Amino acid sequence: MSEQNDTFERQLANWRDLTLAEINATLPSREPRRHLYDLVTAHMSRAGKGIRPALCIATAKAFGGEEANALPSAAALEMLHNAFLVHDDVEDGSELRRNHPTMAAEHGVPLAVNAGDAMNALSIRLLRRNLPLLGAPTAIRVYEEIDALLVESLEGQAMELGWIRDNDMRVSASDYLRMTLKKTCLYSFIHPMRIGALVANGERADLDRFDRLGFFMGAAFQIQDDVLNLIGGRRYGKEIGGDLMEGKRSLILAHLFERVCGREAEALREFLGRSRKRRVPREIGWVYDLLRRHGSIEYAQQASRDLAAAAVEEFETAFAGTQDQEAKQFVRQILNYVVTREF
């Protein structure tokens, strides 16, 4: 088991390195460095584990594609993910990301918004490399996948930001899951697999087979992420309780909203409605208490486990008939990794 894990970690690191090399080859090596490209390079040097590119490359290989043919798409997905993160941190007012000040905290909102835009543009530029590799028809199909995930993700983000802005306490578990499908599942899980299959099989690929698996994986992942944000964990690189400080609606809060009433509901609404700077640690303690009393965190942990189990079951359907068992096994390990991680 440990040997298998070592192999997994090595492969993950290897694809992460190839992805970052592909990204670096597209980053313009010219001015303005100090106010643009240095920011992008520094951000990418702290890039995460590279789950999205690995998922794309492994899916391509599982269905008989070449690693090299998946690299530009994998790199575009990773760059796009990081562009989202830069703007997310601006929108959420977050100060910490991967144990380091966010780009906005370090360089100010104006340069961070602009650098995020540039990362976005460069991720689309990466897709041009697909033209000679995959031919125009398939390259254009990949582009359509990226186009779909971009707009859906921004819609999901608008839902989440809107709930905070309206201090909406009617957000239900189903609203949350719809938002998560848009904001997390599509770009982190569903489209990386769809694009991998496209790279392997072009126009003939059956793409919808990944949709349910990606939803279960993404929802399990996001709910677990929300839980970790509240209770912390080994190597968790973000501010503990940051989501609460931002008033972010999670499955945990949706559970709580259904259960609180009267003065408790009013106090919660008052807390969530205040600006980040006017929330004090004592009150955060009170909200934790409330969550404990209503079992909202345990509820979310159970939901994440249930979704993870559904993903494991769905996996065999989505990856039926693959040609490369090793690559298929790798995706299975990503699934494990994503839903059981505690960092």
Q: Contact region for a second copy (CB under 8 A) — 67-75, 161-169, 199-207, 323-331?
A: 161-169
Contact 73, 133 (CB under 8 A): no
Dihedral, 173, 174, 175, 177 alpha carbons, nearest 10: 90
147 in contact with a second copy (CB under 8 A): yes
Candidates 6-14, 117-125, 187-195, 318-326 — which segment interacts with a second copy by CB under 8 A? 117-125
> Whole-number minimum distance, CB 115 to a second copy, in Å?
7
| CA distances in angstroms from 248 to 6, 33, 124, 241, listed in the order given | 36, 34, 29, 10
Among 44, 96, 154, 284, interactor with a second copy by CB under 8 A? 154
State the minimum distance, in angstroms, from the CB of residue 97 to a second copy.
16
Distance CA 197, CA 210 (A): 9
- Distance CA(23)–CA(338), nearest Å, equals 24
Q: Is 42 in the site for a second copy (CB under 8 A)?
A: no
Give the whole-angstrom CA distance, residue 124 versus residue 120: 7
C-beta neighbour count of 285 within 10 angstroms: 11
**Size of residue set near a second copy by CB under 8 A:** 44
Q: Least distance (Å) from a second copy to the CB of residue 114?
A: 5
Which segments within 28-108 are labelled E, that is strand? 96-97, 100-101
Residue 98: CB minimum distance to a second copy, A: 21
Identify which range of 9-17, 154-162, 307-315, 320-328 contacts a second copy by CB under 8 A. 154-162
CB 161 to a second copy: min, Å: 5
Decide whether 147 or 342 has the Cβ nearer to a second copy. 147
Which of 1, 2, 31, 263: binder of a second copy (CB under 8 A)? 31
Candidates 44-52, 152-160, 290-298, 301-309; binding stretch for a second copy (CB under 8 A): 152-160
Q: Are 104 and 116 in contact (CB under 8 A)?
A: no
Q: Which residues of 317-339 are buried (b: 16+ CB within 10 A; e: fewer)?
A: ebbeebebeebbbbbbbbbebbb
Question: Is residue 267 a contact point for a second copy (CB under 8 A)?
Answer: no
Rounded to the nearest whole angstrom, what is the least distance from the CB of residue 313 to a second copy in the complex?
Answer: 31
- 251, 303 Cβ separation under 8 angstroms: yes
User: From the list 9, 17, 66, 144, which residue makes contact with a second copy (rule: CB under 8 A)?
Assistant: 144
For the CB of residue 280, give the shortest distance to a second copy in the complex, in Å. 22
Residues 95-114 that bind a second copy (CB under 8 A): 107-111, 113-114
Q: How many other CB atoms sit within 10 Å of the CB of residue 299?
A: 19
Q: How far is the CB of 155 from a second copy (least distance, A)?
A: 6
Whole-number Å distance between alpha carbons of 104 and 89: 7
CA dihedral sign, ordered 250, 251, 257, 260? negative
The residues that touch a second copy, with contacts defined as CB under 8 A, are: 28, 31-32, 34-36, 87, 90-92, 107-111, 113-115, 117-118, 120-122, 124-125, 128, 131, 136-137, 140, 143-144, 147, 150-151, 154-155, 157-159, 161-162, 164-165
